[in-house]
Structure 1
Amino acid sequence: MKTKVGIIGGGPSGLLLSQLLHLKGIDNILLEKHSRDYVLGRIRAGVLEHGFAELMREAQCGARMDAEGEIHDGFYIAHDGMRDRVDLKKYTGGNSVVVYGQTEVTRDLYEARDKMGGAVIHEAQDVTPHDLKSDAPYLTYRLGDEPHRIDCDYIIGADGFHGVSRKSIPKDVLTEYEKLYPFGWLGVLSRTKPVSPELIYAKNERGFALCSLRSQVLSRYYIQVPLTDTVEDWSDEAFWDELKRRLPEDVAEGLITGPSIEKSIAPLRSFVAEPMRYGNLFLAGDAAHIVPPTGARGLNSAASDIYYLYHALLDHYQNGDDTGLEEYSQKALARVWKAQRFSWWMTSLLHTFPDSIAYDKRLQQTDLEYLFSSDAAQTSLAENYVGLPF
């Protein structure tokens, strides 16, 4: 097979780029190692910055998001038994975020690819990029016992942290930066009315908690837990009891509990790989960078990669201009590191660290007090939360 752009990874990043390129007449083929049902079964965050929402609309995939997504103009930070609200619209000149589950984003993108007859190949095993430094890179993969080959101009690696793309870059070329946090998030999805119309990030000496939602009848809650904990250690009853202990009293009293639909523990890590280009291979999303979920930058950082790649490929194929491709890694990493800083700061501000000393705790407290005494500090928080410019 022959195509212009070969995309590895059928998550929202790969699907979004595939759809955007197809709409501009740029042929592409997407390879995904898992089934569609598996991809759609992954439960992920769902706070979309305004730039991501605009990309979905440009991809002609925003109708259901606009109809069913929750527009949030602010969020709360709970601490010391009270709640302070961050007014996103006030501090960003009118911007907001859309709360819309990543699973729904992926479903909308799949449906759009289906309608356009997009080339999405599932259960592609042993995907391998070849000749990345040449002008004729290609991909090989296997369907069952049958080998296949795709010749292409460019390869986009959007196959996640454990994918093959980043591993295809020689170790003496790649520099990896990583920070592992000494805790994880235990998340519960329940078919219950959300306790708050806007997200609540809760700082408590027992540990961090987050009250989020997918819709007005579907809630997502998280609590900070040690890395040694397992899902089996936490019954639904134990989870709800601990969540209530970490929330302000008025919030805890209004919490509606119910059976968990999904329960999982995710470790927290910060990670960046540089560069994000090697020859004619370009990394995007989790293949190149990961942030803690505090601050909701993960999917949104991936979307900014796709924005840069999409426009760079458009310039190449429509105008013969390779400036965007040449500058992709530098431009993407500049925004990635800003997202890393913001996610690290939010995580450091709101979590309880097992090795923290009294000095650290007083600094956290002072940081919170300063945040809500300063319009400039809240402006910085709000600007990062709704998304910095591409």
Structure 2
Amino acid sequence: MQTESTQVAIIGGGPSGLLLSQLLHKAGIDTIVLERQTRDYVLGRIRAGVLETGFVELLRKSGAGARMDREGEIHHGFHIAHQGRLDRIDLARHAQGQTVMVYGQTEVTRDLYEARDAMGGRVLHEVQDVVLHDLKGAQPHVTFIHDGAERRINASFIVGADGFHGVSRKSIPADILREYEKVYPFGWLGILSETAPAAPELIYARHDRGFALCSMRNSRLSRYYIQVPLSDKAEDWSDDAFWQELKRRLPEAVAEQMETGPSIEKSIAPLRSFVAEPMRYGALFLAGDAAHIVPPTGAKGLNLAASDIHYLYEGFADYFLRGEAGGLDSYSAKALARVWKAERFSWWMTSLLHRFPDMSPADLRLQQADLDYLFSSEAAQTSLAENYVGLPY
């Protein structure tokens, strides 16, 4: 068995693992990233693209933010459609000048791969049978199969950034791990189309037929979603049926001027809230979807992963460069405090804007009253804006 050593072994070659690897490399801390899929597969994932201020600064710090700054779009607000009208949340006004960056997660991942390549970073793809060993002992290590050969990596620490279905969280003993989950009774049917966005800023729509979202990747690439039952399948929906249903859920003025066209990607994503505690077990640290999932309504999934990476980067830098373990020791508690606040915000946004199957007429009136209150209260809009741009690290 081939054996080598590194300071931090990172399981998962998505944006979380790549960002941490890049930041640590720039600080002189050695890493190796293990990814189960091919690079093309990772880059083929279509994900969200609303980046908090903190994530934007991390990407710049990593040296992978130049294209984002050239091509990304800074958004100072977004709209909520309800009762046939559009109301705007002014992020810059209510969140002390902070904004969000619209830049696709696929592009973030591509930029991070290129940055890793430029620095000679180690990213091993198509690894199989990954097993984590001796997490509470003196010799933490990872074994796996790569290119048909058995391999072993000894590491001071292991970071599990391998997603909800990865091996890392499952390596924590069942009597230690606590899991909290809420599954929502609907999904989002999303399409990607080479069309101009419906509006310069995102539109979240609350409608009696269900939720809708108008988003974008750039001036000629749009991303749209509608709420659908979990029993639906993407192939059940023709492009024409999707556009018709989307327009029904939007104010008439928006629907009339919307550009439509063939979809280049179509899928249905279920919605869930999920948190695993603790986020550290011995030498293992969980990050991103390995530890928590949020419904996408509040645009918090990738951004929560970024805050995990911020805490881990600071903790590893303190440990390896200054001999201080406090940042790593406090990682789980600090990360989870921010995770639960983001879970609450994402749950609230989802509850505010979606039509739940068991809602009574009274429930619907209360939901509308919540929206009416939101746009009559400066304090309520400030709370929404502060959460949307991202709470402080």
TM-score (norm 1): 1.00
**One-letter amino acid matched to 2:364:** K
Q: CA deviation at 1:359?
A: 2.2
Q: Work out which of the residue numbers 38, 43, 57 in structure 1 matches 2:41.
A: 38
Q: Work out which of the residue numbers 274, 278, 281 in structure 1 matches 2:277.
A: 274
Is 1:379 paired with 2:392?
no
Counterpart of 1:169 in structure 2 is 172
Q: CA deviation at 1:145?
A: 2.3
Aligned mates of 2:327, 2:362 — CA distance in 1: 46
Q: Work out which of the residue numbers 227, 241, 246 in structure 2 matches 1:238.
A: 241
Is 1:224 paired with 2:227?
yes
CA displacement, residues 225-257 of structure 1 (integer Å, 9 cap, x when unaligned): 000000111000000000000000000001100
Q: CA deviation at 1:143?
A: 1.3
Counterpart of 2:12 in structure 1 is 9
Show structure 2 runs of 5+ residues with no match.
none
Counting only pairs closer than 5 Å after superposition, residues 1-390 of structure 1 correspond to structure 2 as 1-390=4-393
Say which SS state the counterpart of residue 48 (structure 2) adopts.
coil
Say which SS state the counterpart of residue 242 (structure 1) adopts.
helix
**One-letter amino acid matched to 2:238:** S
RMSD of aligned C-alpha atoms?
0.5
Aligned mates of 1:72, 1:280 — CA distance in 2: 39
Say which SS state the counterpart of residue 304 (structure 1) adopts.
helix
Say which SS state the counterpart of residue 230 (structure 2) adopts.
coil
Aligned mates of 2:215, 2:227 — CA distance in 1: 14
**One-letter amino acid matched to 1:24:** A
Q: CA deviation at 1:115?
A: 0.3
Aligned mates of 1:108, 1:144 — CA distance in 2: 26
Q: CA deviation at 1:128?
A: 1.0
Show structure 1 runs of 5+ residues with no match.
none
Q: CA deviation at 1:289?
A: 0.1
Say which SS state the counterpart of residue 153 (structure 1) adopts.
strand
**One-letter amino acid matched to 1:361:** L
CA displacement, residues 182-201 of structure 1 (integer Å, 9 cap, x when unaligned): 00000000000011000000
CA displacement, residues 27-57 of structure 1 (integer Å, 9 cap, x when unaligned): 0000000000000000000000000000000
**One-letter amino acid matched to 1:101:** G
**One-letter amino acid matched to 1:349:** L
Aligned mates of 2:146, 2:368 — CA distance in 1: 55
CA displacement, residues 95-139 of structure 1 (integer Å, 9 cap, x when unaligned): 000000000000000000000000000001111110000132000
**One-letter amino acid matched to 1:148:** R
Aligned mates of 1:110, 1:376 — CA distance in 2: 41
Aligned mates of 2:83, 2:349 — CA distance in 1: 17
Q: CA deviation at 1:360?
A: 1.5
Say which SS state the counterpart of residue 21 (structure 1) adopts.
helix
Identity of aligned residues (%): 72
Aligned mates of 1:131, 1:81 — CA distance in 2: 59
Aligned mates of 1:156, 1:352 — CA distance in 2: 38
Q: CA deviation at 1:378?
A: 0.3
Aligned mates of 2:14, 2:40 — CA distance in 1: 12
**One-letter amino acid matched to 2:179:** E
CA displacement, residues 304-358 of structure 1 (integer Å, 9 cap, x when unaligned): 0000000000000111110011000000000000000000000000000001112
Say which SS state the counterpart of residue 272 (structure 1) adopts.
strand
Count of matched residue pairs: 390
Aligned mates of 1:136, 1:16 — CA distance in 2: 25
Aligned mates of 2:63, 2:353 — CA distance in 1: 37
Question: For structure 1, which segment, 139-148 or 93-102, has the greater mean C-alpha deviation from structure 2 after superposition?
Answer: 139-148
4+ residue runs of structure 1 moved beyond 2 angstroms?
Answer: none
Say which SS state the counterpart of residue 2 (structure 1) adopts.
strand
TM-score (norm 2): 0.99
